Amino acid sequence: MSENRRILFRNPADESFTTKLVLVCLSLVFLGFFLFLPLVVVFVEAFRKGGEAYYEALAEPDAWAAIRLTLTVAAIAVPLNLVFGLAASWAIAKFEFKGKAFLTTLIDLPFSISPVISGLVYVLLFGTGSLLGPWLKSYGIEVLFAVPGIVLATVFVTFPFVARELIPLMQDQGTGDEEAALSLGASGWQTFWYVTLPNIKWGLLYGVLLCNARAMGEFGAVSVVSGRIRGLTNTMPLHVEILYNEYNMVAAFAVASLLALLALVTLALKTFLELRFGAGAAGGRH
Amino acid sequence: MTASATASKAGWRLKQPSIIPGFGLTLGFSLAYLSLIILIPIAGLLWRTADLGWSGFLAILSDERTIRALYISFGTAFIAALVNVVFGTLLAWVLTRYRFPGRRLIDAMVDLPFALPTAVAGIAFASLYAPNGWIGSLFMPFRIAFTPIGIVIALIFIGLPFVVRTVQPIMEEIDREVEEAAATLGANRFQTIFNVLLPGLTPALLTGFALAFARGVGEYGSVIFIAGNIPYVSEIAPLLIVIRLEEFNYAGATAIATIMLLISFAMLLVINLIQAWSRKRYGNV
Amino acid sequence: MEVKINNIRKEFDRFAALHDVSLNIASGELIALLGPSGSGKTTLLRLIAGLDFPTAGQIFFGEEDASHHSVQDRNVGFVFQHYALFRHMTVAQNIGFGLKVRPSASRPPKSEIKKRVSDLLDMVQLSGLENRYPNQLSGGQRQRVALARAMAIEPRILLLDEPFGALDAKVRKELRRWLREFHDRTGHTTVFVTHDQEEALELADRVVVMSQGKIEQVGSADDVYDRPQSPFVFSFIGESSHLPVEVKDGAVLFQGEPIGISQGSDSAGDLFFRPEDVVLTDEREALSGKVTASRRLAGTRIAEIDIANNGHAPFHVEVEVPLHAPIELGSEARFRPTRWKIFTK
């Protein structure tokens, strides 16, 4: 009798088991179609003709050049935005000043601009019809359709990632720790190095991870400024496009699988940071 | 005159006093970097548009192909953002409320669209939903890839985490007592969810929608492979910018970019207004 | 509405939050569930409301076994500690919610809901605030909105969980008096949970003292203060001291010596007494110890006295002494309880 009634009773702030089951299954089907299958298909297509074909596609010199260029671009763009992220979040989180909210909005700007437009603005700035482009060219400096242009477009697109992660984190932590350190006689740099940095290191790491994933994977902005010269200005995502348009599917998906792997590693590290250090360390919106 | 100017100067302060050092250095560097990377290039774009003149600008925008491309970009992004509001809310609910095997994995996977390069997503969707693909073949003879529906599918992928990650933290903060209060007042579960919980989530849902929509309008990499890119049918505005650039039609590219940029700014403004409004009315949201 | 609680038991994952609790609440009574945190008082309140389900036992509303009914069907007014107001609804929408969600057959027309809301706002003295959002109200106002919202459904009983817990001291006192008047006017059977004994003793017709999932004593304020039935109630309510004693031939012995008080049957146990129920004495048969501290408490003085314990840590007792009594720190004080209770072990 009592057993029977317990089954009838349901927590008033909860759904029935059937409802839960239906909702969970619906979510799983949705995610299956939109997240899991696309991921799976990348690896399946990459290995369609076996491990050897996969390996050959990656060992090809143009693919290597693309991988090298992607790594180079990320190696320049990420540290630049890291330094900016630290400076901006220090200014915004540790001080009260006029126009702060506006500055925060401006930092978010690249998130809401089409990557194609992010590339376009540099084409207009350094292209043939501009003032800067021909002037720089006369000194032998090529920006557009060369590595500097690709770096600039990547920096633009990945601009907010580190700052976005750090600002809320540092605002939550307030200024108490820094004031304590300063009152104990630490210099500004010592305070930053020994007090602030240890407090934000996991959030910082997560911001850098996301920034890096986006820097290596950026397509639209880079495609506008690169000129797609094989072996010279082709990054990995651009190389994927070229191979795909040549119907060289195995090679296209092979290079794509490396980028997918990068994404998976990024997510795994993010999840690890969250589990290990709590949601505060690696949360936030992107 | 001089005295009053001095007085007002003394009253105006850029920042409130603080013993923490580094304000000048960090703010100065941030502003310089922001100007060089973001503001000056965007100003350049707007200046180029101003060069076109009002009539030149309107002439480009009234081109039928441009209008169709903008219509397709905004229309598909709108539909995709709507779908994401529904499924994103469902997902956020399932992830915050239910405990089931694989929940952590799914929670982590929601961020995949943030981390996966758009070109990779693009070719994956194109091959999945192509007429001979795993999913596309199930729906034959109805075609998904190379139609506007394909664009919507790619944009659902791109926008999903924006909705989930905006709504999820608000859902986590919902006080169970509020749901119990509704129950003691006689509301059934359905009424509690639709009359009490969802209205409370509205600001977050609107913000998530706006973010997903803004991102969808500008999306390029994941769309062009699955869209088919047929002018007037499945050609998106960002692609048209690229095409104009390849034709060295800088004016055409600039005008389309400017109108998209202005709409993006408007979206950003709307997001900020929604948040300010809901903070004022309901406390922190 | 009369409420009968019969042998209720509640377990959370093997941990028993309530052991076999029974309680009868008379119609129209204002009753307090008092106890420290973890005593099961909130669990009992939630079981009455139907927010949780008992592992065993029944709850009757009048003659009807409410145990079978869901929270929606029980028709109880529940006021939550943190108000649990719907923050996207105005005050009026919050109060009218319970009427709006009724099935169409029993739902009053809109004009009727509006009138009821405005009557209730009058009753809780918040007229004019109907279009405010909860965020724009003070804590005390929110609590009254929560009460009006609970009253709107014409509940059979009113349940309040720590109703004043989140308010500051001054507002708390005001609302306490206000709630008493409100109850006297409406006459609802009301149960409230509190850990504040002053609140329980001042407000309630009867106090239910709970500890570790059991009811220790049920009674009026006078009952639980003057006639505590267990060591827990004696020490939980008011101030008290206790010493281990034995009773031999009618005389109460402490450390084997008579202390000048006597009781019927022979036993051993703990002697409990309150600071105010003590007199200083010069007689040989008395308790004695060293005064370690004394402090002024309103109109009286409290002396803290250590009684030696054969080399172990001394017994510590507190006694009330006349303001002008010759009490010096470090001096010897002799005293006897005038009212006491021995709880046998």
Nearest to B169 by CA among A30, A280, C86: A280
Residue bearing the bigger pLDDT, C113 or C298: C113
Contact status, residue A124 vs residue A130, Cβ threshold 8 Å: yes
DSSP structure string for C232-246: HHHHHSS--EEEEEE
Query: At residue C14, does pLDDT exceed 90?
Result: no
- Give the Cα separation of C200 and C198 in Å (integer): 6
Domain that holds residue C325: 239-344
Three-state SS at A228: coil
Edge-first strand order for the sheet with C341-344 is C257-262, C251-254, C241-248, C267-273, C341-344
Q: Does C115 contact chain A (CB < 8 Å)?
A: no
Query: At residue A282, does pLDDT exceed 60?
Result: no
Average pLDDT score over residue span A32-56: 93
Mean pLDDT (chain A, rounded): 89
Task: Give the pLDDT score at A6.
Answer: 45
Domain final residue pick, C219, C235, C251: C235
Q: How many other CB atoms are found less than 10 A from the CB of residue C2?
A: 16
What residues does C208 pair with on adjacent strands?
Answer: C33, C218
- Give the Cα separation of B105 and B119 in Å (integer): 24
Gap from A123 CA to chain C (nearest CA, Å): 48
State whether C199 and C250 are in the same domain. no
Query: At residue A105, does pLDDT exceed 50?
Result: yes
Task: Give the pLDDT score at A278.
Answer: 64
Chain A positions in Cβ-Cβ contact with residue B237 (cut-off 8 Å)? 114
- Give the Cα separation of A233 and A221 in Å (integer): 13
Scanning A169-208 for CB atoms below 8 A from C yields none
Gap from C52 CA to chain A (nearest CA, Å): 7
How sure is the predictor about B8, in pLDDT bands with cuts at 50, 70 and 90? Answer: very low
| DSSP run (H or E) holding B145 | none
Structure tokens at B213: 């929509």
Task: Give the pLDDT score at A279.
Answer: 53
Helix, strand and coil in chain C, % to nearest 5? 25, 40, 35
Q: CB A12 to CB C70 under 8 A?
A: yes
pLDDT digits (tens, 9 = 90+) for C54-83: 999 999 999 999 888 889 989 999 999 999
pLDDT digits (tens, 9 = 90+) for A114-140: 999 999 999 999 987 787 888 888 888
- Give the Cα separation of C106 and B214 in Å (integer): 46
**Alpha helices (runs of H) in chain A, residue ranges in sequence order:** 2-8, 17-31, 37-46, 50-59, 61-94, 100-108, 115-126, 132-138, 147-158, 161-173, 176-183, 188-191, 197-217, 220-226, 236-245, 249-277
State whether C307 and C340 are in the same domain. yes
Contact status, residue B44 vs residue B123, Cβ threshold 8 Å: no
Task: Give the pLDDT score at B16.
Answer: 84
Interacting residues of C12 by C-beta distance below 8 A, sequence separation 6+: none
Gap from A11 CA to chain C (nearest CA, Å): 7
pLDDT digits (tens, 9 = 90+) for A214-229: 999 999 999 999 877 7
Mean pLDDT (chain B, rounded): 90
Q: CB C102 to CB B191 under 8 A?
A: no
Q: What does the domain layout of chain B look like in residue ranges?
A: 42-50+57-282
3-class secondary structure per residue, B200-265: HHHHHHHHHHHHHHHHHHHCCHHHHHHHCCCCCCCCCHHHHHHHHHHCCCHHHHHHHHHHHHHHHH
State whether C13 and C67 are in the same domain. yes
How sure is the predictor about C323, in pLDDT bands with cuts at 50, 70 and 90? Answer: confident
Query: At residue C263, does pLDDT exceed 60?
Result: yes
Q: CB C53 to CB A5 under 8 A?
A: yes
Contact status, residue C140 vs residue C175, Cβ threshold 8 Å: yes
Query: At residue C45, does pLDDT exceed 90?
Result: yes
Alpha-carbon dihedral sign for residues C130, C136, C139, C142: positive
Interacting residues of A277 by C-beta distance below 8 A, sequence separation 6+: A202
* A2 to chain C: closest CA residue: C56
Q: Does A111 contact chain B (CB < 8 Å)?
A: yes
Q: CB A12 to CB C67 under 8 A?
A: no
Residue bearing the bigger pLDDT, B77 or B18: B77
Q: CB B184 to CB C88 under 8 A?
A: no
- Give the Cα separation of C39 and C44 in Å (integer): 10
Find how far residue B115's CA is from the centre of its chain.
16
State whether C17 and C123 are in the same domain. yes
DSSP structure string for A186-213: --HHHHIIIIIHHHHHHHHHHHHHHHHH
Task: Give the pLDDT score at C201.
Answer: 93
- Give the Cα separation of A245 and A233 in Å (integer): 17
User: For tokens 């500051």, what's the residue?
Assistant: C168
> Mutate which of A44, A112, A173, A222 to test chain B, going by most B C-beta atoms within 10 A?
A112
Three-state SS at C274: coil
Q: CB C150 to CB B283 under 8 A?
A: no
pLDDT digits (tens, 9 = 90+) for B227-250: 989 999 999 999 999 999 989 899
State whether C325 and C187 are in the same domain. no
How sure is the predictor about A232, in pLDDT bands with cuts at 50, 70 and 90? Answer: confident
Q: If you ran DSSP here, which 8-state letter would residue A138 be given?
A: H
State whether C229 and C88 are in the same domain. yes
Three-state SS at C272: strand
Contact status, residue C41 vs residue C204, Cβ threshold 8 Å: no
State whether C97 and C14 are in the same domain. yes
The CATH number of residue C338's host domain is 2.40.50.140
Structure tokens at C39: 């005593």
- Give the Cα separation of C26 and A248 in Å (integer): 84
- Ramachandran bin of C125, using left for φ above 0, alpha for ψ from -120 to 50, beta for the remaining angles: left
Give the CA dihedral A9, A12, A17, A20, nearest 10 degrees: 180
Q: Using alpha carbons, list the distances in angstroms from residue B67 to A112, B130, B237, C21, C31.
A: 21, 27, 9, 74, 72
Nearest to C194 by CA among C42, C78, C49: C42
**Confidence (pTM):** 0.86
Determine the angle formed by the axes of helices A61-94 and B23-34, rounding to 10 degrees. 140
Task: Give the pLDDT score at A265.
Answer: 94
Span between the terminal Cα atoms of chain B, in Å: 47
- Give the Cα separation of A54 and A58 in Å (integer): 7
State whether C81 and C188 are in the same domain. yes
Q: CB B185 to CB C153 under 8 A?
A: yes
Nearest to A167 by CA among A243, A66, A226, A84: A84
State whether C33 and C171 are in the same domain. yes
Contact status, residue C86 vs residue C93, Cβ threshold 8 Å: yes
Domain final residue pick, C235, C263, C279: C235
Vertex C155: Cα angle to C152 and C160 (nearest 5)? 90
Residue bearing the bigger pLDDT, C169 or C189: C189
- Give the Cα separation of A178 and A189 in Å (integer): 11
- Give the Cα separation of C35 and C40 in Å (integer): 8
Query: At residue A161, does pLDDT exceed 80?
Result: yes
pLDDT digits (tens, 9 = 90+) for B147-173: 999 999 999 999 999 999 999 999 998
Contact status, residue C130 vs residue C117, Cβ threshold 8 Å: yes
User: For tokens 């699955």, what's the residue?
Assistant: B226
- Ramachandran bin of B248, using left for φ above 0, alpha for ψ from -120 to 50, beta for the remaining angles: left
| DSSP run (H or E) holding C266 | none
Average pLDDT score over residue span A163-176: 91
**Type of residue numbered C244:** P
State whether C152 and C137 are in the same domain. yes
DSSP structure string for C78-108: EE-TT----TTS-HHHHHHHHHHTS-TTTPP
Task: Give the pLDDT score at B11.
Answer: 64
Domains of chain A: 1-46 (no CATH), 49-277 (1.10.3720.10)
Domain B42-50+57-282 = CATH 1.10.940.10: no
Chain B positions in Cβ-Cβ contact with residue C78 (cut-off 8 Å)? 180-181, 184
Q: Classify burial at C212, counting beta carbons within 10 Å of its beta carbon; exposed 0-12, middle 13-18, buried 19 or more.
A: middle
Q: If you ran DSSP here, which 8-state letter would residue C313 be given?
A: E
| DSSP run (H or E) holding B52 | helix B40-61
Q: State which of A252-261, B170-179, C194-203 shows the largest mean pLDDT.
A: A252-261
**Type of residue numbered B58:** L
Domain count, chain C: 2
Contact status, residue A155 vs residue A85, Cβ threshold 8 Å: no
Span between the terminal Cα atoms of chain A, in Å: 53
How sure is the predictor about A9, in pLDDT bands with cuts at 50, 70 and 90? Answer: low
Average pLDDT score over residue span C199-217: 94
Q: CB C51 to CB B183 under 8 A?
A: yes
Q: CB B20 to CB A24 under 8 A?
A: no
Average pLDDT score over residue span C278-288: 89
Three-state SS at C340: coil
| DSSP run (H or E) holding B20 | none
Q: Does A12 contact chain C (CB < 8 Å)?
A: yes
The CATH number of residue C106's host domain is 3.40.50.300
Contact status, residue A41 vs residue B134, Cβ threshold 8 Å: yes
Domain final residue pick, C197, C218, C235: C235
State whether C195 and C256 are in the same domain. no
